[in-house]
Chain A
Amino acid sequence: MSIVLKTKNINKYFKKPVLFHVLKDINISIKKGEFTSIMGKSGCGKSTLLYILSTMDTNYEGQLYLNNELITGQTQNKLSYLRNKHIGFVFQFHYLLSEFSVLENVMLPAKKLGEKSFEEIENDAINKLRILDIENLASKKASRISGGEKQRVAIARALINSPSIIMGDEPTGNLDSYNSENVFKIFKQLCIEQGLSLLIVTHDEDFANRTDRIITMSDGEIISQ
């Protein structure tokens, strides 16, 4: 199976307030269609790693490959483009643009990518909302829907450009068990039905245990994968 995401000897230091070695020689690779979770105690560096993998954090040593292409050292504009096209994001807090409607929120990354016409994008967005069973919310303002619904909208948005991988930073951390379960089911379904790769940072052991693979981190090192 092809490899979606690969790191080679990634090291990161925090320079403030004191020099601190956050990530030590991280070597991982994520295959296509794999549902992976990263676990570890608070402060072990798992979120830091995720933001490096997401290309948003460029201040590290080592190499990062996305679809076998070297990402390290690319310009910010190129990174933005790669993020837009290949990476979908789901955060712990439901980051939606509160003044836009649900549909507009989902459509925005596709409009930015600009590869499809407006009608196609709208059609895609409604399809994604239908998959996540929130089609009825399409015209509502993002600030007017519940937390669980917001997280599903965020997932729809992450899916809109048919990314290579979806990353999540504790996507269920702020949800009750019912909604957590829901989100997990959606992820699992996407993984099986659409062959999507998923990389989820989580504290929730039940959640992690049901994924294909668990990467455990401690003090900036990978102790099992």
Chain B
Amino acid sequence: MINWKVILTIAKTHLLSKLKQTSVAALGVTFGIGAYITLVCFMTGLNKMLDGLILNQTPHIHIYNEIEPSKKQPIAFYEEAKNSFKVVHSLKPKQSQKKIHNALPIVKYLNKDKRVKGAIAQIKAQIFYIAGSIELGGNLTGIQTLEEARLFNFQNYIVKGSHEDLDKIDNGILIGSGVANKMSLDVGDRVQISTIKGDVFPLKIVGIYQSGLADLDAVQSFANIKTVQRILGEAENYITDINVKLFDIENALDMAQEIENQFELKAIDIKTANAQFETGTAIRNLITYAVSITLLIVAGFGIYNILNMFIYEKMNDIAILKATGFSGKDVQYIFMSQALIIGVVGGVLGLLIGFGLTNLISKLPFETEALPTIKTYPVNFDPWFYVIGITFALISTFFAGYLPSKKAKRIDPVKIIRGQ
């Protein structure tokens, strides 16, 4: 028979009578949880941004036609040399085209797959930007603008002008910020480009693209897929690359292999292409959690200490309570509830402090050349962190309170009363 009302009244009176110590204990939790929330929100925000920088604009599967030597050379088909040791000199890549054979049906087929969020075609072409007598080497990519924006956040990298204009204006081009700087070009200007074959085309600049990777920005430009086909003098089925975005990135490896086997094309999945990002993210998360848990454990020891002290100070009270009919369990619950009250109050305050700090951080200006679309520090406001924070506060205070309260439960009232 446990009378919680009485137990909580006693716990409350004890805590209020030692307000200073109680506050110190609660502040330990508050700082622990506050620091945890701030750290984890900020770090994961940063992680997400860094991952996003690469992963959002990288296709989960990139399909193209690799120029490479045949895996099985003609000599292998020659029956009479079957059991001989064969040496082939001056191996050359297989004669093939850059374009993907039957690309449009493949795109259609991929878009029907349930795992696929979207598959879009691209054309990559080598070009020259012409400025008077100077020719600058560069890449022109033909894209389906609106689809690129939907699947790969293309719009985030347009610093001037708009990606929608590219879709509307025929003969439009989005040029890299590096190219624009070198050639002193701006939105609305015209730029002449020349293909490898030597044909020259004037294009109108509708926007400036900045990925944050300087080397890329100094060469890369985008135009509508049809514009590029026209520049290259190719048919409408001329497509060199297919980019696929999946719903679940985990399927990338399996699907890439399926595609390679089915279509005899090269298909690279994102994990193979960007293995180092996964590692970086994992390690950053590990550090964040290690630091946060350390903070919370330190707070837990603070509570443990203060409760231990409480119990030494309250020996007489414990003896009286036991003599007047409170059981060991009752006494244990009194101290446990004290610990948990400290945990709840400290934890909730910690969440508020964490929320305040992360809000403040998310409003601090953070401008860097490399990240054109980011104006303030990135913060991840995931409500789960708050759930984890308060849960951890309760668990750590529970354990910090459990051991001292166990001791209080075992105190022999006779020893205390006779010891006076």
User: In this assembly, does A84 line the interface, its C-beta being within 8 Å of a C-beta of chain B?
Assistant: yes
How many Å from the CB of B219 to the closest CB on chain A? 77
A111 in contact with B327 given A51-B418, A96-B320 (CB within 8 Å): no
List CB contacts (< 8 Å) of A75-129 with chain B.
Answer: 76-77, 80-81, 83-85, 89, 91-93, 95-100, 108-109, 111-114
Do A169 and B417 touch across chains, with their CB atoms under 8 A apart?
A: yes
A89 in contact with B323 given A47-B418, A99-B14, A112-B6 (CB within 8 Å): yes
Do B6 and A111 touch across chains, with their CB atoms under 8 A apart?
A: yes
A95 in contact with B6 given A56-B413, A80-B322, A84-B324 (CB within 8 Å): no
User: In this assembly, does B1 line the interface, its C-beta being within 8 Å of a C-beta of chain A?
Assistant: yes
A56 in contact with B322 given A92-B420, A100-B13 (CB within 8 Å): yes
In this complex, the member of B13, B321, B328, B414 whose beta carbon has the largest number of chain A beta carbons within 10 angstroms is: B414
User: In this assembly, does A157 line the interface, its C-beta being within 8 Å of a C-beta of chain B?
Assistant: yes
Give the docked Cα–Cα distance between A83 and B324 (Å).
Answer: 6
Partner of A109, one of B316, B325, B413: B325
Give the docked Cα–Cα distance between A114 and B320 (Å).
Answer: 18
Partner of A80, one of B9, B326, B412: B326
Measured CB to CB, the nearest residue on chain B to A83 is B325
Give the docked Cα–Cα distance between A33 and B321 (Å).
Answer: 26
Provide the residues of chain B in CB contact with A95, threshold 8 Å.
316, 319-320, 323, 417
How many Å from the CB of A60 to the closest CB on chain B? 12
Interface string of B389-420 (1 = CB under 8 A from A): 00000000000000000000000111001101
List CB contacts (< 8 Å) of B188-220 with chain A.
Answer: none
Provide the residues of chain B in CB contact with A176, threshold 8 Å.
none
User: In this assembly, does B148 line the interface, its C-beta being within 8 Å of a C-beta of chain A?
Assistant: no
Do B414 and A84 touch across chains, with their CB atoms under 8 A apart?
A: no
Provide the residues of chain A in CB contact with B10, threshold 8 Å.
97, 108
Q: Interface majority SS on B: helix, strand, loop or mixed?
A: helix
User: In this assembly, does A57 line the interface, its C-beta being within 8 Å of a C-beta of chain B?
Assistant: yes
Provide the residues of chain A in CB contact with B417, threshold 8 Å.
51, 91, 95, 169
A112 in contact with B325 given A47-B418, A92-B420 (CB within 8 Å): yes
User: In this assembly, does A54 line the interface, its C-beta being within 8 Å of a C-beta of chain B?
Assistant: yes
Give the docked Cα–Cα distance between A161 and B324 (Å).
Answer: 10
User: In this assembly, does B329 line the interface, its C-beta being within 8 Å of a C-beta of chain A?
Assistant: yes
Do B325 and A85 touch across chains, with their CB atoms under 8 A apart?
A: yes
How many positions in chain B have a CB within 8 Å of any CB in the partner chain?
29
Give the docked Cα–Cα distance between A85 and B325 (Å).
Answer: 8
Give the docked Cα–Cα distance between A85 and B412 (Å).
Answer: 20
Partner of A77, one of B3, B14, B324, B329: B329
List CB contacts (< 8 Å) of A167-217 with chain B.
Answer: 169
User: In this assembly, does B330 line the interface, its C-beta being within 8 Å of a C-beta of chain A?
Assistant: yes
Provide the residues of chain B in CB contact with A91, threshold 8 Å.
323, 417
User: In this assembly, does B5 line the interface, its C-beta being within 8 Å of a C-beta of chain A?
Assistant: yes
Give the docked Cα–Cα distance between A161 and B325 (Å).
Answer: 11
Provide the residues of chain B in CB contact with A85, threshold 8 Å.
325
Provide the residues of chain B in CB contact with A169, threshold 8 Å.
417
Give the docked Cα–Cα distance between A108 and B3 (Å).
Answer: 11
Provide the residues of chain A in CB contact with B418, threshold 8 Å.
47, 51
Provide the residues of chain A in CB contact with B321, threshold 8 Å.
97, 108
Measured CB to CB, the nearest residue on chain A to B320 is A95
Do B325 and A77 touch across chains, with their CB atoms under 8 A apart?
A: no
Provide the residues of chain B in CB contact with A56, threshold 8 Å.
322-323, 412-414
In this complex, the member of B322, B327, B329 whose beta carbon has the largest number of chain A beta carbons within 10 angstroms is: B327
Provide the residues of chain A in CB contact with B327, threshold 8 Å.
76-77, 80-81
Interface string of B140-152 (1 = CB under 8 A from A): 0000000000000
Do A93 and B328 touch across chains, with their CB atoms under 8 A apart?
A: no
Give the docked Cα–Cα distance between A113 and B1 (Å).
Answer: 9
Give the docked Cα–Cα distance between A33 and B413 (Å).
Answer: 27
Give the docked Cα–Cα distance between A129 and B211 (Å).
Answer: 83
Give the docked Cα–Cα distance between A100 and B418 (Å).
Answer: 23
Chain B interface (Cβ < 8 Å from any Cβ of A): 1, 3, 5-6, 9-10, 13-14, 17, 316-317, 319-330, 412-414, 417-418, 420
Across the A-B interface, the 10 shortest Cβ-Cβ residue pairs: A84-B325, A80-B327, A99-B17, A109-B324, A111-B6, A95-B320, A83-B325, A51-B414, A77-B327, A114-B3
Instruction: Give 11 pairs: A residue, B residue, CB < 8 Å, sorted on A.
Output: A56-B413, A84-B324, A91-B323, A92-B420, A95-B320, A97-B13, A97-B317, A99-B14, A99-B17, A112-B326, A112-B330
Chain A interface (Cβ < 8 Å from any Cβ of B): 47, 51, 54, 56-57, 76-77, 80-81, 83-85, 89, 91-93, 95-100, 108-109, 111-114, 157, 161, 169
Told that A47-B418, A112-B325 touch, could you supply 18 new A-B pairs with CB distance under 8 A? Answer: A51-B414, A80-B330, A81-B327, A83-B324, A85-B325, A91-B323, A95-B323, A95-B417, A96-B320, A108-B6, A108-B10, A109-B325, A111-B5, A112-B324, A112-B326, A112-B330, A114-B1, A114-B6
